[in-house]
Structure 1
């Protein structure tokens, strides 16, 4: 009887912790959506406050030992591509506007990086299933969970193509004639890899009879078990 009572107490304690993790994930998702939307809708004079809030997210993500190098490289690439275009189209007078545009896009991506770095796909799927069909929640949660993996895959493909002699180094990409080579050597292989991975995930979900019930079970992730 005592063993049975103790098992019930452990189960209740685990359910309570799981509920807290789910609620925390819901708040994190809501915060990410608000901050990402604010990056586009706030006036330029209010971007300083948004930068301060996003900086706290970056500190939290780095504290949890998550890497932000790939996101910084994406922001630098956007800046390197956008500023020359602004200079050619509008002249030197509107270069600051180009910087602000790139800054807004980067600030819109930062909350997504923080969300995918701190929340497990299992909990995201559970939270999204509150207002979406289970299949849509699964697709969105899986896509968010794949972001770190696809960034790593892109980095590896880029490094391999550079070793093969492709003209896609930062110095070579200063010439717009080399931009199509970046598409053929990096973007297309990444797209093919993403399609292959999506097909594998769809097959795995089908073999597990996903979608047969309206409310699938959301198992706790390994991070919550520790």
Structure 2
């Protein structure tokens, strides 16, 4: 789990949970990483959990009943500690065992699923926290390396053909269907992978946000490998 990241101005590293939650987003910085090299066998936990659906929420009780090796137990303690830290902070963390997310295949020219680069939006002041303990991790991109899909002329024209109503209503239509949240990487864009074991805080689009929301996407899963992800 020894992940290193190139220096980049759109995210920054911190060394504690306190720094993670108290460091302000500012300028171009819209992602903050509590960089950690975790010990413990997270793969063992994944192997002993039972997938009930493609996205299975794992409860604290589900974790508690697992019979684990010493390294597996270390991993469990780290997860429980992260859940406690986030809960005490006022967040509502969810531990998910993931086979895959639902795909959006309705339109062939624009996708609105989580595999597409997108930002999160909320009517209230909040941030997105996530940590991948096992399996592939998400990618982020700075805004200067993406184009908002609804502003790409050929995509916009196709969306206009779908819409029935006035120009003002068209903008509402784009928001109602979440088309405005999705982005297309520019040629030669360089995604930053969030890596394993690091706890990230990503900026969300909400009324009091001072920076642009963080553009990110879920990874394509590997065959026969589940992801273990903490998110809130």
Q: Which has the higher helix share?
A: 1
Structure exhibiting the larger radius of gyration computed from Cα positions: 1
Give yes or no for TM over 0.5: no
Q: How does the TM-score come out when normalised to structure 2?
A: 0.24
TM-score (norm: length of structure 1): 0.25
